[in-house]
Amino acid sequence: MIDLLARQSCCLSAQEISERLGESGRSVGLASVYRALELLHELALVQRVDLGDGNTRYEPIQPGGEHHHHAVCDRCGRVTAFEDRSLETALERLAGRLHHSISAHEVVIHGNCERCSERA
């Protein structure tokens, strides 16, 4: 399961992880998936991602520190990943000013994806 997660570039829900593991032979119960994810989260190896659809997703934290954020299409639900250096810079600068340590941050954008914008 660690392998599966590590191979993902973007976020997966616990259900998806369980399903994919089942498809590839090694069936794993949901409870174990959640247990593993909790552990990995404590070890700072995966990040929780909450896109507001009621499902918590998880994605691996890149050792290099690079990471992306997510844009959710409110029409079709598609999730698009993006990265933006100036956004990160702004967040880093913010860290100095804030009376709050920052161990993780998450930016979620809502709107319409390219495809849905065209036929708006």
Residues contributing to the site for DNA (CB under 7 A): 13-15, 27-32, 34-36, 38, 54-56
Per rule CB under 8 A, is residue 76 in the interface with its own copies? Answer: no
Rounded to the nearest angstrom, the gap between the alpha carbon of residue 102 and the centroid of all alpha carbons in its chain is: 17
| Cβ nearer to DNA, comparing 14 with 45 | 14
When CB distances are held under 5 to 8 angstroms depending on the partner's kind, the choice from its own copies, DNA, none that residue 92 binds is none
Per rule CB under 8 A, is residue 13 in the interface with its own copies? Answer: no
Out of 52, 63, 64, 65, which residue is the one contacting its own copies (CB under 8 A)? 52
Residues in 22-41 at the binding interface with its own copies, rule: CB under 8 A: none
Shortest distance, CB of residue 93 to DNA, whole angstroms? 32
Q: Which residues of 105-114 are buried (b: 16+ CB within 10 A; e: fewer)?
A: eeeeeeebbe
Per rule CB under 8 A, is residue 114 in the interface with its own copies? Answer: yes
d(CA 51, CA 31): 22
Residues contacting its own copies: total by CB under 8 A: 38
In order, the DSSP letters of 17-50 are: HHHHHHHTS----HHHHHHHHHHHHHTTSEEEEE
Any long-range contacts for 37-43 (C-beta under 8 Å, 24+ apart)?
40/2, 40/5
Rounded to the nearest angstrom, the gap between the alpha carbon of residue 100 and the centroid of all alpha carbons in its chain is: 22
When CB distances are held under 5 to 8 angstroms depending on the partner's kind, the choice from DNA, its own copies, none that residue 104 binds is its own copies
